[in-house]
Structure 1
Amino acid sequence: MKAIVINEYGDKGRLREIEFPKAIPKAKEVQIELYATSINPIDWKVREGYLQGRLPFKFPIILGWDAAGVVSKVGTKVEKFEVGDRVFARPATTERGTYAQYVTADESLVAKMPKETAFIKAAAVPLAGLTAWQCLVDFAHIEEGDRVLIHAGAGGVGSMAIQIAKHFGAQVIATGGSNSAEIAQQLGVDQFINYQSSDFDEELEDVDIVLDTIGGKVQERSFRVLRKGGVLVSIVQPPDEGKARKHDVKAGFVWLEPNGEQLEKLAELMANGELKPQIAKVFDFGQDGLREAHELSETGHVKGKIVIKIKEDEEHKESKENEEESS
């Protein structure tokens, strides 16, 4: 199979297309022929070597954590899936990621895609959607009526979090630049704060939950807007425990855990129109396409998700807009 790998840490030029052997599924695994994957900031952070020592990588590394495709083989003890199922997943593999034509995943990490969803859309969901779910539901225990502040609401995780929070009946506030306002409003935010012209910590108070996707000073200032007993959850860096005690709030860092059951819940939201992945740009699979995708992701100003089209989806042709974006 074709795969895009890195054999050493460095810039986007380290991404190279090679022939790589397909992984044979173990007893409880499925092999997925990939139609699409997507880009996440962790991809280029690993490529640059920022996470050395935190993850057990060995070269050559196939990056990528989002999978959308068709089951091509099943292990001898697989019960939930059969060949031909349209699925999506956040596989738990490290060296064998999703910048490839095939990937294997334990069946517990896989979910069936909604019938009407294209692979391009499904590929945008696993890592960002699960991250948002685990922050808001598992860590913060979001409830109806909660006031939720989501930083960088137009980003990959932020855009998912807005929609998940609205599903639970929360009042949602999002921050972003002036070019993010329209997207945030389309996603259903109740209040948008333009960080270029306003200070969120001067406008807000008594917030129940803050989802920090930025870190640094934004995280520090976020303590000020929380009510006593509120929750600050970050996907960037562990919050200061001393500040959490001072402000009498719960604070913590969430590292995504792959989870097929939660993906099934996200699939339900997609099926009923409550979760609509926001696609920033689509690139074709290949060495050049992945390098361009990494370059765009590294700008830090992507609205929604960057997706890589690996194989044509004959049942759900991409929109003309997406086709133009990928050219």
Structure 2
Amino acid sequence: MKANRIHLYGPPEVIVFEDVEVPVPRFGEVLVKVAASGAGLWDTYIRSGASVLPQPLPLTLGAEIAGVVEAVGPSVIAFTPGQEVFGVTNARFTGANAEYAVASTAMIALKPRVLTYLYAASMPVVAVTAWQMLFDHAELAAGETVLVQGAAGNVGSYAVQFARLAGARVIATAAAADIDKVKALGADKVIDFRAERFDETLKGIDVAIDTVGGGVQRRSFAVLRPGGRLISSVSKPNAQEAEKRSVRAGFMQVDVDTPTLAKIASLVDEGKLNVEVGPVLPLEQLRVAHEMLEGIRPKPRGKIVIES
């Protein structure tokens, strides 16, 4: 089979499109014939050697997949050959950008029926990140007010929708060109971050969801009520500032799991969730996707999807 591999860490040029053996699923794994896979910033960290997890070389890049179960490992009963699935390959986030991939049964679910493989492959990491930020870490409740920073981004757009569905009041920040889009996703109020300082106009916020980091994260403390929560998917918030303001602040790393994927798939099939994709590239052009993610080529709007 064909796969996008690296044999050393480095810039996008280290990606090699080559022939490798089809992997064999072991206990707790299935073999998926990949119809589409995702490409995200986390893939660039792995490729460059900046991953926080050990990544033995050589390796096949990519984490997100959508496709058909080709075979199952020993004792696997949760999935059967022929089922359409989506999710993540493994905890190391490798192995997806290929014609076949082995995936942990604990990190995949049945694909949303109404979505094509391309759309399904765009979702797993970013949608589950948004879900876990809101509900597992911030413990958002109906009736609360949530501020979503970077609401037009891949994670932020799902956070707006999930918060609205949960019965929260949603305030969002976005560029002027994205205000109508974010309102259509369900935000009650959208602030043009270039024209208005959100920390000078907002107060008493229950939850702040940070997908931006830097100064935006630091200024988010000022809008929270005592007892509020700040959750970031970018970097660790300042613990001293959190203590001074009597708020809870934390950094989260996504833990893609079958139950959360299944909940999100149900929302999609019920017509309650809008799913968008960005550029779609053929499997042999993964290097181009990484050049986009690194800013070597113009950065795309929306999630990059790789078609096998």
TM range (shorter): over 0.9
State the superposition RMSD in angstroms. 1.5
Q: 1:180, 1:303 within 8 Å by CA — same for their partners in 2?
A: no
Q: 1:175, 1:192 within 8 Å by CA — same for their partners in 2?
A: yes
Aligned to 2:226, the other structure's residue is in SS state: strand
State how 1:301-312 maps to structure 2 within 5 Å.
302-310=300-308
1:318 match: none
Amino acid at match of 1:44: T
1:248 match: 246
Could you give the per-residue CA deviations for residues 179-234 of structure 1, whole angstroms, max 9, x where no partner exists? 22232122121111111111111121111111111111111100001111110001
Unaligned runs of 5+ in 1: 311-327
The alpha-carbon deviation at position 302 of structure 1 amounts to 4.1
State how 1:71-86 maps to structure 2 within 5 Å.
71-86=69-84
2:27 match: 27
State how 1:202-217 maps to structure 2 within 5 Å.
202-217=200-215
Give distance in 1, aligned partners of 2:159 and 2:127.
7
Aligned to 2:71, the other structure's residue is in SS state: strand
Aligned to 1:10, the other structure's residue is in SS state: coil
1:175 corresponds to 2:188: no
1:122 match: 120
Q: How many residue pairs were aligned?
A: 306
Give distance in 1, aligned partners of 2:178 and 2:93.
35
Q: 1:44, 1:298 within 8 Å by CA — same for their partners in 2?
A: yes
TM-score by length of 1: 0.90
Q: 1:44, 1:294 within 8 Å by CA — same for their partners in 2?
A: yes
Give distance in 1, aligned partners of 2:294 and 2:173.
20
1:291 corresponds to 2:287: yes
Could you give the per-residue CA deviations for residues 251-289 of structure 1, whole angstroms, max 9, x where no partner exists? 111011121111000101111122222212211111xx2
Identity of aligned residues (%): 37
State how 1:1-327 maps to structure 2 within 5 Å.
1-51=1-51, 54-94=52-92, 96-286=94-284, 289-299=285-295, 302-310=300-308
Amino acid at match of 1:173: I
Q: 1:278, 1:303 within 8 Å by CA — same for their partners in 2?
A: no
Could you give the per-residue CA deviations for residues 131-163 of structure 1, whole angstroms, max 9, x where no partner exists? 111111101111112111111111111111111
Aligned to 2:279, the other structure's residue is in SS state: strand
Q: 1:88, 1:110 within 8 Å by CA — same for their partners in 2?
A: yes
Amino acid at match of 2:81: V
Aligned to 2:278, the other structure's residue is in SS state: strand
Amino acid at match of 2:9: Y
Give distance in 2, aligned partners of 1:20 and 1:151.
42
TM-score by length of 2: 0.95
The alpha-carbon deviation at position 25 of structure 1 amounts to 0.8
The alpha-carbon deviation at position 11 of structure 1 amounts to 1.6
The alpha-carbon deviation at position 95 of structure 1 amounts to 7.4
Could you give the per-residue CA deviations for residues 85-125 of structure 1, whole angstroms, max 9, x where no partner exists? 00001121537421111111221221001222111111011
